Amino acid sequence: MLEVKLWVLVVVLSVVGTVATLAYYYLGKEGYEAVLKRFPEIKQERWDRVASLYDRYGAVLLFLSSIPMVGMLLTTVAGAVGIRVAVFFLWVLIGRLTRNVVLLFLFNQTLGLLMH
């Protein structure tokens, strides 16, 4: 059984990680031109493709925002397309909690194999 301290750590890291993504969200609210100044590698075609994904799937897409490289674009475009901040926070938090719980179980299983 995993210790309570580890579960608290998972929750704290998930919340902190979610709060950090708000910087991308608010940058996205300033629009593509502002994002382009900070991230010139994001091309208009890619931006438009992600925006169209929000048209199709909505805020639930933010569940995937904890995936490296993908997450920054998803969270930034979310601000630009007008996802409400509370909805944004909820979906990003759910995604981060899920990822961190999976990582905790994988780490625990690996540690268990090494210890026996």
32 Cβ neighbours under 8 A, 6+ residues apart? 44, 47, 80
Assigned token pair, 4: 């309570």
**For position 4, what pLDDT does the model report?**
86
State the chain's maximal CA–CA distance in angstroms: 55
Binned at pLDDT 50, 70 and 90, residue 5 comes out as confident
pLDDT in tens, 66-111: 998 899 999 999 999 999 999 999 999 999 999 999 998 888 776 5
Q: Which two tokens stand for residue 23?
A: 């910087």
- Domains of the chain, residue spans: 16-115
27-40 pLDDT, tens digit per residue, is 999 999 999 999 99
Tally Cβ neighbours within 10 Å of residue 108.
13
